[in-house]
Structure 1
Amino acid sequence: PNWGWRYCLSKKLAKKTLLISELLETCNFSPIGRRAPLQGIEFITSKDFRDSESSKSAFIGIMEAINAKGVNMIGLYGKPGVGKTTLAKEVGKHALEQKLFDKVVIQEGKAEELFRSMQGVNKILVIFDDVWEEFEPETIGIPFGVAHEGCKILLTTRHQQVCTIMNCQKKIQPAILSKVEAWTSFKDNAGVDDGPSSLNGVAKEVARECKCLPLALVTVAKALKGESLDGWRAANQRLKDSRHLDNEEVFGNFVGWFLIGTL
């Protein structure tokens, strides 16, 4: 890089920044934009969601907890790829459709945005996705507990311990799919069937490598849809050869970009 040129550019930028600040102080500019509100749950549901025995059981458990008195923090935990985020979004969508809450939001913005979204709302469900460590709701703009008895939190995490330290009154772990459910999901997304063809035979082997994880099944199936038999065989061999896939914790993150990046 040309460090001299960068230095000159930084000096010019500093002068322009100062000039802009002075203009903002002396001039009365009308606002031309505003930060978008937190995204409502109705816009982000997953078309890949499908009923399974495990998802039905977890869904019922979460809805019972949401309706229970004295429960304001619910934890949904499990390995990556098991479908926690999708399930949480479906719960939010259902809760809104059933008018259990005035508002349902997924916390992705700044604390002040979340705080503003809660003003004047009696009952609200806030979904925190992929939580890794303890946090205090009040410190990020959520009047919680006694301060706002109509607020309930649903968090998703990979680790049960996070649910424990967050004092979740209800902890739910969705199970992986059964082998039958896994194959049904895979073949629907990959465009294969149960016929006795060579490609379908390889497809069944690939599906088994997805370890019955919903997200992995959908991701891999869509990545391979329309591929030739050689493409399927190559992907299957890469999955079998990869030592990363022996670790299911790593597998959920690894498999998507592994296939898409190597086919």
Structure 2
Amino acid sequence: MKVTSYFLQNATSNLEIPTGVPDWLNEVENIKIDAESVISSNVNGCFNLKMRYRTGRKAFKTTLKIEALIKENNETNWRDAQKPLGKVSSKLASTSDGDVQNYFKSREKIFKEALGLLQQDQKAQVIALCGMDGVGKTTMMEQLKKAVEDRKMFDWVVKVVIGQKINASSIQQTVAEYLQIPLTETSTTTRADRLRVTFGKISQERKEKVLVILDDVWEKVELKDIGLCPLPNGSKLLLTSREENVCTQIVAEDDLDLRVVRVDVMEKLEANNFFFQISKVSNPELKEMGVKIVKRCGFLPLAIKLIATNLRSKEKWAWKNTLRRLKKNELVKNVQKIVYKL
């Protein structure tokens, strides 16, 4: 059963994820484990009626749960995401430079480097967070976004999730909503001109600073399509992408100053600590398996978080099954599908 396909299809589009979806996904994973335990049950002998009865009853209950989850999935309503306004509030609560450092101490240097490049006295016009899937680029981007808002480094913060397929019209609409302007034009070119004029007024007339964030960039985005060609004075661009060359292509036409900040996997010790903080396990035998699981996850934060959450409060056999599947790369493939942004 393709338990994540529907979720991923909507998560990678510009739709708002209903609040019940994460719980639904966790329940699906639990049902998968139950189903696998039924399939792997070894009931030998035609006279072992008691065991056959129990196995049959468990299979029946599992089937009913699966049907209920499918029904719930079909009844889930996906709707257009409501974009938050981009104007930075003066009432934002003051916090530290990113809660992510509580878990990812190895990222502190990377975080401070990126935050420094976002300072207005830096020459860098475009900052790109680059790294493999699941390494935590988007998490760090969100922490940087919060830090610049708390410090009031920019008057406007505009964030757009790009995804695998670029939709210029959708990107333009998102930017317009952040800038609090109606975008009634039907032509992509006309809409781009309207955005360019708006960015120009913000920069030249109001002397306000803008940070535009393009998250999950898979291929070249034409800056002229979103009114950022040329990039207005006082404006900066923050990108997250797996491919450094894609970021280079984006800035090449306008000859913008690009600074790449590489986000790597977690260090071994903090990866283990992160896993055990989530799974909340103290059993020495499970801890031993947990260390092996973390290693099989490649020290990727997202993979560790997903699997640790799933194993929390689970019994020993579930941990063994997870480790076995990781050794066969079964779970890795499923995690990679979810990573393609969650």
- Of residues 99, 113, 120, the one that matches 1:61 is 113
The amino acid that maps onto 1:166 is I
In 2, the alpha carbon distance for the partners of 1:256 and 1:136 equals 25
Q: Which runs of 5+ in 2 are unaligned?
A: 1-80, 93-97, 162-169, 180-197, 203-207, 252-256
Q: Which residue of 2 aligns with 1:203?
A: 290
Asked whether the 8 Å contact 2:325–2:331 carries over to 1, the reply is no
In 2, the alpha carbon distance for the partners of 1:236 and 1:39 equals 44
- Of residues 309, 318, 327, the one that matches 1:240 is 327
Paired residues in the alignment total 213
For the residue of structure 1 that corresponds to 2:152, the secondary structure is: coil
Give TM-score, length-normalised by structure 2. Answer: 0.56
In 2, the alpha carbon distance for the partners of 1:138 and 1:37 equals 22
- 1:174 Cα deviation after fit: 1.3
Q: Which residue of 1 aligns with 2:68?
A: none
Asked whether the 8 Å contact 2:126–2:236 carries over to 1, the reply is yes
In structure 2, relative to structure 1, the CA distance for the partners of 1:80 and 1:71 (3 Å cut) is same
- CA displacement 1:103-148 (0-9 Å, x = unmatched): 2221145404414533564112111111011122221244642xx2
In structure 2, relative to structure 1, the CA distance for the partners of 1:233 and 1:65 (3 Å cut) is same
Q: Which runs of 5+ in 1 are unaligned?
A: 1-34, 258-263
In structure 2, relative to structure 1, the CA distance for the partners of 1:158 and 1:137 (3 Å cut) is same
In 1, the alpha carbon distance for the partners of 2:242 and 2:112 equals 20
Q: Structure 2 matches for 1:54-133, cutoff 5 A?
A: 54-67=106-119, 68-108=121-161, 110-115=171-176, 117-118=178-179, 119=198, 121=202, 122-133=208-219
- CA displacement 1:205-240 (0-9 Å, x = unmatched): 212211111111111100111111001101110010
Structure 1 stretches of at least 4 aligned residues deviating more than 6 Å after TM superposition:
46-49
Q: Which residue of 1 aligns with 2:313?
A: 226
In structure 2, relative to structure 1, the CA distance for the partners of 1:159 and 1:252 (3 Å cut) is farther
In 2, the alpha carbon distance for the partners of 1:252 and 1:160 equals 23
The amino acid that maps onto 2:217 is V
In structure 2, relative to structure 1, the CA distance for the partners of 1:229 and 1:113 (3 Å cut) is closer
Asked whether the 8 Å contact 1:38–1:107 carries over to 2, the reply is no
Asked whether the 8 Å contact 1:80–1:252 carries over to 2, the reply is no
Asked whether the 8 Å contact 2:116–2:122 carries over to 1, the reply is no
For the residue of structure 1 that corresponds to 2:127, the secondary structure is: strand
Q: Which residue of 1 aligns with 2:104?
A: 52
In structure 2, relative to structure 1, the CA distance for the partners of 1:140 and 1:78 (3 Å cut) is same
In 2, the alpha carbon distance for the partners of 1:138 and 1:132 equals 18
Percentage of matched positions with identical amino acids: 26
- Of residues 227, 236, 257, the one that matches 1:152 is 236
Superposition CA RMSD, Å: 3.0
Give TM-score, length-normalised by structure 1. Answer: 0.71
- 1:251 Cα deviation after fit: 7.7
In 1, the alpha carbon distance for the partners of 2:82 and 2:303 equals 32
Asked whether the 8 Å contact 2:133–2:339 carries over to 1, the reply is no
- 1:62 Cα deviation after fit: 0.8
- 1:244 Cα deviation after fit: 8.0
- 1:38 Cα deviation after fit: 4.0
